[in-house]
Structure 1
Amino acid sequence: MAPSTPHISSQLRQLIYYHLDNNLVKNALFLAGRLHAYEPRSSEASYLLALCHLLSGQPKAAWEYSRISGSRGTHLGCSYVHAQACLDLGKYMDGITALERSKSIWTSKSHWNKHSETRRQHLPDAAAVLCLQGKLWQAHSDLSKAVECYAESLKLNPFMWDAFLGLCEAGVHVRVPNIYKLSPELVAMVQAAPPPDSTALSDKTVSHNGPLQTQLNTNPNADPFSSNTPKGDANLSHGSSALWEKLNGSNVNVANIGPAVIHEGLETPSSQNESDEIRIINGNVSSNESWDPPLAPARRNRTIQQAEYGDPPPKIRTTNLKSRIRPKGEPEETNHVHIEEESVPAPVPSLGERKRTISGQVAHPSLPQPVEPGAPQRRSTRLLNHIRPTTSRLASSTLGPKEGREVKKVRATGTKGRMATAPTVGRVVSGNRKLMLGGSDGDGKEARSLSTNSSSHTKNATSDRTKEIEALSWILDLFAKLATGYYNLNRYKAQEAVQMFNLLPQGQRETPWVLSQIGRAYYEQALYPEAEKYFIRVKALAPSRLEDMEIYSTVLWHLKNDVELSYLAHELMEVDRLSPEAWCAAGNSFSHQRDHEQALKCFKRATQINPQFAYAFSLQGHEHVANEEYDKALDAFRNGISADSRHYNSWYGLGQVYEKMGKLEYANEHYRNAAQINPSNAVLVCCIGLIMEKLNDPNTALIHYSRATTLAPQSVLARFRKARVHMKLGELKLALTELKVLKDIAPDEANVHYLLGKLYKLLHDKANAIKHFTTALNLDPKAAQFIKDAMEALDDDDEDDPDMA
């Protein structure tokens, strides 16, 4: 008979997910092709095939296979993969439309805290879809809708890091503490989460003293240890987890899972290293005997058979309380056996006494069945007599004279025997190996033990939830620090970013990503030696890292470290020749060697690999400026702005080009745009001041220079221009104060000494003027003509010498 279609499809899907989970994408793609050929009209098959193509780096094929169901919004997986393929292919509105049409499917889904090593959700939830939708809107240049999607995604899942990065890139104001806080919603989700997967076989998850697992056997033919026991069964005890594990050869805690299949021949080790073994044999029970236990093999003659023919039973050892059953190879009887605890004996139809379960509830056995004369004794009754001492009422009402005499023999062992035997039997079966002394009420002690175990289990569960909440709080605090540091860096608050990253734990701070962010922060402050130190540590920890290496190459370019720059470019090319970061490093190396043509080729190659790599466009524009190719430079900087509207380097480059072209108004506008994005950059503020100075507005220029010196107290350029404006405004004492500070900062700068000589000349201090002019002449012999002219005209206060700045 041919197999059914659903079973074939199910097997193929399981194989596909198996290979995807093991990162065997090629195998998964082949199997997805078989599934799609078997079910060409199935949306699930199309989704899996499209997903495998997408993971294989084939977005066009993924787009094609997911287009029908994805564009209609009938299958969430197809819509999600279709939107991802559209993002890669530049078809942004198609992807947005697909996600919108499937909104009714994903809008209420939330998979936060529902993934583990053995549990997965292969379809996305609302947070993941909203994050992807935000990326599509951002690529479509609709930042307002992108921000809305990112914000909604973070509300549903604060750990959606891509959404947070999208908000930062959009340039919106973000209150990080409001995102990463332990909200009541998160606490409720943790408390409502299912317990850890019990299918993971780990010794650490087994509780040998845990509460008993009780289930009601509503199926009269069901073995209480078999997999077909209904979940609603609550009155029959499976015993403790320790007994369950030994009977099944498993370490699974039965307190957390449903019943499992018991295979024949599983052995329970004996505490006395005896050769006898206990086995569970599944049998059939007739429907009119609802409490009859399943079939079991016969006992050996030296145990049960001897008791059956009147021989006294052997005394029960207190250290070995396991029942013994005849091995499988021996002949079987027609009787049935039901293995239970001492406190929950197998219900015997002929008993007149009402029995109780472990919890103290009255068990409701079926009506007593007539016992045929001469019929062999019930197996469960013989086990009961063999394990637990019974009362005379039980013996007189149920058993014959032989059985009654055997029971009396057991009782004749005395109080000591009862105290050491009866309570201990129940504890051994339940998994508690402690000897319970004092008192003869086994059922009461069992109930008290169950209550204690249940209370302990409840406390453990509460403790686990508390620990989970504490762990979640720690992770949220970690994310808050990382997000705050990145947000400050994205807003170009470099000092605040460094301070926040330094608050991280040592293990988290010494990671490539954090060290790279700190290096970028120092780079933004033009502290290139400090930035180099952190990037060196990044390379030591992650030699194959590519992210942010273009910044490191620019740091080396500013430090004029040609050897290290060339070596970095060579290393990055070996790591990935098709990465834009590697080509940017190579271009910087050629640029430092004044080979502008080769540098331009490298930067153009980087933009070909990644057309959205704005930094490569800005480097390309600066090379065109060095070649005085202003039109090409304008095109390169504009392309950089198109790739990233918040890339202040491209705005600065446009201002620089317009300044060189003499279009000061345009230069001022673009400089201000760059400064609006990066208000803490002293160089941009100085550029605006210079434009104001050229536009004959020295007072406004002085304001910008003063702000630049506040932002960067060690900036030589800002203080030099500020002192020069003070001199133009006739504020000679203020200019002298700035120049004295500047002389201490840059004692080897020729321009500083030249300007000091001019200032002392205006102050009619010829001695100091000659001193600083001479120092400037020694530091910069190329400017000898200007310096000599200034020295010869010391007596002429109205002389207007050329400015060397």
Structure 2
Amino acid sequence: MSPSTPHIASQLRQMIYYHLDNNLVRNALFLAGRLYAYEPRTSEASYLLALCYLQNGQVKAAWETSRNFGLRGTHLGCSYIYAQACLDLGKYLDGINALERSKALWAARNNWNKHSETRRQQLPDAAAVYCLQGKLWQAHKEHNKAVECYAAALKLNPFMWDAFLNLSDTGVDMRVANIFRMSPEMHSMVSSSNLEDFELPSDKVLPPDGPLQTQANVNPSLDPFTSATFRSDVSTTHGSSALWEKLNGSTVSVASSGTAPHNMREGMETPGGQSSESDDPRVTNGGGGAEVSWEPPLAPAKKNRTIQSINTDHPMNPPPKMRPTGFRPRTRTKGETDEQTTVHGEKDITTGHRIGDRKRTVSGQVAHPSTSHSTDQGTGQRRSVRLFNQIKPTSKFSTAALGVKDSRELKKVRATGTKGRIATTSSVGRVVSGNNRKHIGEIHDSDSKEYRGTSVSTSNGNQPAPPKGSVSERSKSVEALAWLLDLFSKLASGHFYLTRYRCSESIQLFNSLSQGQRETPWVLAQIGRAYYEQAMYSEAEKYFIRVKALAPSRLEDMEIYSTVLWHLKNDVELAYLAHELMEVDRLSPQAWCAVGNSFSHQRDHDQALKCFKRATQLDPQFAYGFTLQGHEYVANEEYDKALDAYRNGISAHSRHYNAWYGLGTVYDKMGKLDFAEQHFRNAAKINPSNAVLICCIGLVLEKMNNPKAALVQYNRACSLAPHSVLARFRKARALMKLQDLRAALAELKILKDMAPDEANVHYLLGKLYKMLHDKGNAIKHFTTALNLDPKAAQYIKDAMEALDDEEEDEEDIA
């Protein structure tokens, strides 16, 4: 007899997912080709083949394979793979249209808190799709729509870190604390997830389409993400969206449509949650499939044991409730709940036999507890046995109430109780008798969800109390979630402050993390970048050294480290860093930037340009590579090429203030002061805490014969960076132009203490004393400047001769 088509396809799908999960992509790709050849017209086969192509790096093949069903929006997986391929191939609008056409398939999906080692959601949910849509809109330069998509993704899943990073890069104002808060929806999701292991039913049975793919198992009435409020939020425009208000000043969390019930406290300690190897013998390694316990099963009970002795064997852990097998879990109305108590004698839908039929396992024990011990429907004995099958028994149940009949029943209850102590939910798939066996192709990793116990009401409407462990597990999960939200809030706030160049606040937040979280490559690199933005290169170098020690193969942020070494004039370390990065990945733009900086430090600008161009060829969106190209063109006085390079950097990332600064510098050198001032101000809007940019604005205003406006900028720069020699020097020079000599002298005295070996400071002091007619101090500082900078001897000697000529003129007048 030839095998049936569904079973062959199911076997192939299981093998594909097996190889994907074990990172055997080439094997999975070959099997996906067999499945596609077997079912060329099915969307599932196209999706799996496109998925394998994408994970194997064959983006164009994934695009072609998923295009048929992806463009029409008839299969969510195909649309998602197609949109991802469109993002890589630059077909942004095609990807956006594909996701919009499949919106009915993902708009109400939320897979948060539904993944484990053995349970998985293969198709994306709304948060993942919104994040991908945001990337597509951002690449298409539609930043307002990208912001809306990122905000919608974070509302559904605040742990969507990629969406937060991209949202920060757009430059939009937001309150980070409103994103990472415990919302009522998240609280209910965690609670229902924990109770599901004890009493909540699944919403539907797993279809045979995907071996690892489960469906949403939260009732629509309990699902906080299917409310009308959410649908209206995500459909409004950027200017009037309620969701947008939550990001900008509202006390309501982005992840919630209501007020958050729990406020996180600063410095929250890690809750004492259980690890994966918990001491609780009831914890298993997952919630789906045939469950494998962490402990071996206990030996069968002796026949002369009683129910009372079973209950007293483990006084700290009473055996959990048995799973009722007479119902398919689904959402019930009140009327249906009242009728539940009358259907225990019906046929079991999972086995095809009546509950009273006793199927045996290999050991001879009863596979399914019988619910009909006698023909008398009204006896207390039958009712107690029925309750025993639905409610977790405790030591309060007496032997008489349980209706013990013989040693076989004792053995049955003992076996079930033992298994219940090992696993939260029993495995029906262990039954050996023929009618209870499934075909291999129909067994999925999440099959056990079909048999989860339901909270069955009694005739008087009272529901059984949840197990004792469910309350503690629920509280531990809520505590763990609150701790994670607090951690993410600190990490996100630190990164947000860094992207807004509030570097001191960023460093303070990162340093407030626990040592384990702080001593990680990502956090240390963020602190290093914060010091770099403050021009504190020595401090930045210390943190990047620690990053390299922890993660020698890390490439991210290494272009900044190479620039730090360039500023410190550490040629040896810079060359060594470039060599290391090239060994790690010679096709990374960061490695070529390091090589280019090394050549630039050696003043080999042509070779440096070649390296920076190679970096931007490898990554056309690498804005920093374009900016470094512009700097080298300026050094070669090729201003037109420098303008093009800086403009390419702004096109790659509009908030890259270094490129705006470069444009201002070029226009300043070309004498186009109005354009220079405009571009310097654009750079200062992005990075308002950078004293160098403020000084550049002041310098341009000074060249435009507006010393008063320049002085305002210099005062601002001195307040931002009190230790900046450049800002204080230019402020003193502006004061001298405005004939405020006493104030200028006070500034220069402070400056002399800050930079005693700076020739320009002593030269300016000499000119100031000359204006004050203090010839002795003027000659003293001119001489000091001459000794510090012999190359400027001609200028200094001219100033000293002018001082002598002025003195002679005064004598003639006298």
TM category (shorter chain) comes to 0.7 to 0.9
Work out which of the residue numbers 177, 180, 202 in structure 1 matches 2:293.
202
Change (3 A) 1:783 1:217: closer
2:803 alignment partner, SS class: coil
Aligned counterparts of 2:702 and 2:500: Cα–Cα separation in 1: 28
- CA shift digits 1:532-573 (9 cap, x unpaired): 000000000000000010000000000000000000000000
Aligned counterparts of 2:642 and 2:341: Cα–Cα separation in 1: 76
Aligned counterparts of 2:685 and 2:678: Cα–Cα separation in 1: 11
User: Residue in 2 aligned with 1:727?
Assistant: 736
User: Residue in 1 aligned with 2:80?
Assistant: 80
Change (3 A) 1:291 1:665: closer
User: Residue in 2 aligned with 1:683?
Assistant: 692
Aligned counterparts of 1:100 and 1:598: Cα–Cα separation in 2: 47
Unaligned runs of 5+ in 2: 198-285, 298-313, 329-339, 390-403, 420-462, 810-814
User: Residue in 2 aligned with 1:763?
Assistant: 772
User: Residue in 2 aligned with 1:355?
Assistant: 381
Aligned counterparts of 1:684 and 1:184: Cα–Cα separation in 2: 45
CA drift at 1:459: 2.8
CA drift at 1:782: 1.1
Contact 1:580 1:609 in 2 (8 A): yes
1:355 alignment partner, SS class: helix
Question: Letter of the aligned partner of 1:585 in structure 2?
Answer: A
1:34-53 to 2 correspondence within 5 Å? 34-53=34-53
CA drift at 1:735: 0.6
User: Residue in 2 aligned with 1:148?
Assistant: 148
1:64-103 to 2 correspondence within 5 Å? 64-103=64-103
Aligned counterparts of 1:681 and 1:799: Cα–Cα separation in 2: 46
User: Residue in 1 aligned with 2:547?
Assistant: 538
- CA shift digits 1:566-617 (9 cap, x unpaired): 0000000000000000000000000000111100100010011111101000
Change (3 A) 1:594 1:295: closer
User: Residue in 1 aligned with 2:726?
Assistant: 717
CA drift at 1:347: 3.9
User: Residue in 1 aligned with 2:165?
Assistant: 165
Aligned counterparts of 1:645 and 1:130: Cα–Cα separation in 2: 22
Aligned counterparts of 1:789 and 1:562: Cα–Cα separation in 2: 37
Contact 1:520 1:531 in 2 (8 A): yes
- Asked if residue 785 in structure 1 is aligned to residue 794 in structure 2, the reply is yes
Contact 1:723 1:739 in 2 (8 A): yes
User: Residue in 2 aligned with 1:649?
Assistant: 658
Contact 1:793 1:799 in 2 (8 A): no
CA drift at 1:767: 2.1
Question: Letter of the aligned partner of 2:750 in structure 1?
Answer: V
Aligned counterparts of 1:182 and 1:537: Cα–Cα separation in 2: 34
Q: TM-score, normalised by structure 2?
A: 0.72
CA drift at 1:162: 1.2
CA drift at 1:214: 5.8
User: Residue in 1 aligned with 2:125?
Assistant: 125
Question: Letter of the aligned partner of 1:10 in structure 2?
Answer: S
- Asked if residue 628 in structure 1 is aligned to residue 654 in structure 2, the reply is no
Aligned counterparts of 2:381 and 2:31: Cα–Cα separation in 1: 57
- CA shift digits 1:725-748 (9 cap, x unpaired): 111111111111111111111111
1:793 alignment partner, SS class: helix
User: Residue in 1 aligned with 2:335?
Assistant: none
Contact 2:371 2:385 in 1 (8 A): no
2:554 alignment partner, SS class: coil
Question: Letter of the aligned partner of 1:514 in structure 2?
Answer: V
Aligned counterparts of 2:50 and 2:378: Cα–Cα separation in 1: 68
CA drift at 1:177: 0.7
1:210 alignment partner, SS class: coil
2:83 alignment partner, SS class: helix
CA drift at 1:493: 1.0
Contact 1:761 1:797 in 2 (8 A): no
User: Residue in 1 aligned with 2:506?
Assistant: 497
1:249-268 to 2 correspondence within 5 Å? none
- Asked if residue 551 in structure 1 is aligned to residue 577 in structure 2, the reply is no
1:470 alignment partner, SS class: helix
CA drift at 1:81: 0.4
CA drift at 1:209: 2.5
CA drift at 1:216: 6.7
Aligned counterparts of 1:340 and 1:121: Cα–Cα separation in 2: 30
User: Residue in 2 aligned with 1:458?
Assistant: 467
2:469 alignment partner, SS class: helix
- Asked if residue 473 in structure 1 is aligned to residue 482 in structure 2, the reply is yes
Question: Letter of the aligned partner of 1:55 in structure 2?
Answer: Q
Contact 2:498 2:506 in 1 (8 A): yes
Aligned counterparts of 2:608 and 2:595: Cα–Cα separation in 1: 7
Contact 2:319 2:417 in 1 (8 A): no
Aligned counterparts of 2:675 and 2:768: Cα–Cα separation in 1: 33
Contact 1:214 1:234 in 2 (8 A): no
Change (3 A) 1:164 1:215: closer
Aligned counterparts of 1:44 and 1:541: Cα–Cα separation in 2: 43
- CA shift digits 1:37-86 (9 cap, x unpaired): 11111111111111111111111111100111101111110100000000
| Percentage of pairs with the same residue | 67
CA drift at 1:766: 2.0
2:381 alignment partner, SS class: coil
CA drift at 1:795: 5.0
Equivalent pairs counted in the alignment come to 631
Question: Letter of the aligned partner of 1:676 in structure 2?
Answer: K
1:277-288 to 2 correspondence within 5 Å? none
Change (3 A) 1:778 1:92: same
Aligned counterparts of 1:653 and 1:205: Cα–Cα separation in 2: 68
1:158 alignment partner, SS class: coil
Contact 2:325 2:350 in 1 (8 A): no
CA drift at 1:169: 1.1
1:131 alignment partner, SS class: helix
Change (3 A) 1:775 1:212: same
CA drift at 1:481: 0.5
Aligned counterparts of 1:614 and 1:798: Cα–Cα separation in 2: 57
Aligned counterparts of 1:53 and 1:668: Cα–Cα separation in 2: 50
Change (3 A) 1:104 1:385: closer
User: Residue in 2 aligned with 1:6?
Assistant: 6
- CA shift digits 1:139-176 (9 cap, x unpaired): 00010111111111111111111111111111100110
- CA shift digits 1:426-465 (9 cap, x unpaired): 9899569xxxxxxxxxxxxxxxxxxxxx999633201111
- Asked if residue 567 in structure 1 is aligned to residue 576 in structure 2, the reply is yes
Q: Provide the alpha-carbon RMSD of the alignment.
A: 3.5
CA drift at 1:348: 6.5
1:129 alignment partner, SS class: helix
- Asked if residue 694 in structure 1 is aligned to residue 703 in structure 2, the reply is yes
1:203-602 to 2 correspondence within 5 Å? 203=294, 209-213=318-322, 215=324, 347=373, 355-356=381-382, 358=384, 384=405, 458-602=467-611
Unaligned runs of 5+ in 1: 220-230, 237-257, 262-283, 298-326, 329-336, 364-382, 389-421, 433-453, 801-805
Question: Letter of the aligned partner of 1:209 in structure 2?
Answer: P
Change (3 A) 1:351 1:385: farther
CA drift at 1:203: 3.1
- CA shift digits 1:223-245 (9 cap, x unpaired): xxxxxxxx999979xxxxxxxxx
Question: Letter of the aligned partner of 2:13 in structure 1?
Answer: R
- CA shift digits 1:398-440 (9 cap, x unpaired): xxxxxxxxxxxxxxxxxxxxxxxx9x999899569xxxxxxxx
Aligned counterparts of 2:61 and 2:360: Cα–Cα separation in 1: 59
- CA shift digits 1:194-227 (9 cap, x unpaired): 33616542337999632341647799xxxxxxxx
CA drift at 1:356: 4.0
Q: TM-score, normalised by structure 1?
A: 0.73
Q: Which has the larger radius of gyration?
A: 1
Change (3 A) 1:789 1:425: closer
CA drift at 1:759: 1.1
Contact 2:373 2:382 in 1 (8 A): no
CA drift at 1:503: 1.1
Contact 2:695 2:713 in 1 (8 A): yes
Change (3 A) 1:338 1:78: closer
CA drift at 1:359: 5.8
Question: Letter of the aligned partner of 1:213 in structure 2?
Answer: M
Change (3 A) 1:338 1:350: farther
1:201 alignment partner, SS class: coil
